[in-house]
Structure 1
Amino acid sequence: MSRLFAIFLALTASAVMTTAAHADVRVLTSIKPLQLIAAAVQDGIGMPEVLLPPGASPHNYALRPSDVRRVGEVDLLYWIGPDMESFLPRVLATRKLPSVSVQALPGLHLRHFAVDSESHEAADPAEHDHDHQPGSLDAHLWLSSFNARVIAAKMAADLSAADPANAEHYQRNLKAFDDRLDTMDANIKARVAGVAGQPFFVFHEAFDYFEDAYGLKHTGVFSVAAEVQPGAQHVAAMRARLTEVGKTCVFSEPPMRPRLAETLTAGLPVKLAELDGLGGYTPASVQGYEQMMEKLGSDLAGCLESL
Structure 2
Amino acid sequence: MKIRALTALMLTTTAAQADVPNVVTDIPAVHSLVAQVMGNLGEPKLLMKQGSSPHGYAMRPSEARALQNADMVVWIGEDLTPWLESSIETLAPEAESLELLHAHGTEVLNFRETPIFAKDGDHGDHHDDEHGDEHDDHGHDDDHDDHGEHKDDEHDDHGHDDDHGDDHDDHDDHGHDDDHHDEDGHDDHKEEAGHDDHGHDDHGHDHDGADPHAWLDPHNAAKWVGEIAEHLAELDPENAATYEANAAAAAESLEALEDSLKAQLAPYSGAKFIVFHDAYQYFENATGLKATGALQVSDATPPSAARLAEIQEEIQEHSITCVFSEPQFSDALVQSVTNGQVSATSLDPLGVGLDLGAGLYSELLQNLADSIEGCVS
* Distance across 2 between alignment mates of 1:112 and 1:234: 19
**Deviation digits for residues 21-62 of structure 1, max 9, x if unmatched?**
944321110111100100110111111111122221212222
User: Which residue in the other structure is 2:109 paired with?
Assistant: 111
**Deviation digits for residues 150-200 of structure 1, max 9, x if unmatched?**
211111112222222222211221111122112211211121112111100
* Distance across 2 between alignment mates of 1:34 and 1:247: 34
User: Which residue in the other structure is 2:374 paired with?
Assistant: 302
User: Which residue in the other structure is 2:267 paired with?
Assistant: 194
User: Which residue in the other structure is 1:59 paired with?
Assistant: 55
**Deviation digits for residues 93-121 of structure 1, max 9, x if unmatched?**
22222222111212211111245xxxxxx
Pair 1:87-2:160 in alignment = no
Gaps of 5+ in 1: 1-19, 116-121
* Distance across 2 between alignment mates of 1:208 and 1:41: 26
Counterpart amino acid of residue 368 in structure 2: L
Q: CA RMSD in A?
A: 2.5
Q: What secondary structure sits across from 2:289 in the alignment?
A: coil
Pick from 273, 287, 290 the counterpart of residue 214 of structure 1: 287
- Give the C-alpha shift of residue 275 in structure 1: 1.3
Pick from 150, 153, 159 the counterpart of residue 232 of structure 2: 159
Pair 1:264-2:337 in alignment = yes
User: Which residue in the other structure is 2:210 paired with?
Assistant: 137
On the 8 A contact 1:114/1:135 being kept in 2, the answer is no
User: Which residue in the other structure is 1:175 paired with?
Assistant: 248
- Give the C-alpha shift of residue 221 in structure 1: 0.8
Pair 1:248-2:321 in alignment = yes
Q: Indicate the percent of aligned positions where both proteins have the same amino acid.
A: 32
* Distance across 1 between alignment mates of 2:270 and 2:333: 26
* Distance across 2 between alignment mates of 1:203 and 1:267: 15
How many correspondences in the alignment? 277
Q: Closer, same or farther in 2 for the Cα pair 1:197/1:230, shift >3 Å? A: closer
Pair 1:46-2:42 in alignment = yes
Counterpart amino acid of residue 219 in structure 1: T
* Distance across 2 between alignment mates of 1:154 and 1:134: 23
Q: Closer, same or farther in 2 for the Cα pair 1:249/1:188, shift >3 Å? A: same
* Distance across 1 between alignment mates of 2:43 and 2:259: 28
Kindly name which structure, 1 or 2, has the bigger radius of gyration based on alpha carbons. Answer: 2
* Distance across 2 between alignment mates of 1:255 and 1:232: 22
User: Which residue in the other structure is 1:101 paired with?
Assistant: 99
Q: Closer, same or farther in 2 for the Cα pair 1:234/1:291, shift >3 Å? A: closer
**Deviation digits for residues 1-30 of structure 1, max 9, x if unmatched?**
xxxxxxxxxxxxxxxxxxx99443211101
* Distance across 1 between alignment mates of 2:285 and 2:296: 21
Counterpart amino acid of residue 112 in structure 1: N
Pair 1:285-2:357 in alignment = yes
Q: What secondary structure sits across from 1:52 in the alignment?
A: coil
* Distance across 1 between alignment mates of 2:207 and 2:291: 16
* Distance across 2 between alignment mates of 1:36 and 1:134: 25
On the 8 A contact 2:324/2:334 being kept in 1, the answer is no
* Distance across 1 between alignment mates of 2:222 and 2:305: 45
- Larger RCO, structure (CA 8 Å, separation 6 or more): 1
Q: Closer, same or farther in 2 for the Cα pair 1:165/1:22, shift >3 Å? A: farther
Q: Taking structure 2 as the reference length, what is the TM-score of the superposition?
A: 0.67
User: Which residue in the other structure is 1:15 paired with?
Assistant: none
Counterpart amino acid of residue 354 in structure 2: T
- Give the C-alpha shift of residue 230 in structure 1: 4.6
Counterpart amino acid of residue 301 in structure 1: E
Counterpart amino acid of residue 287 in structure 2: Y
Gaps of 5+ in 2: 1-15, 118-149, 159-205
Q: Taking structure 1 as the reference length, what is the TM-score of the superposition?
A: 0.82
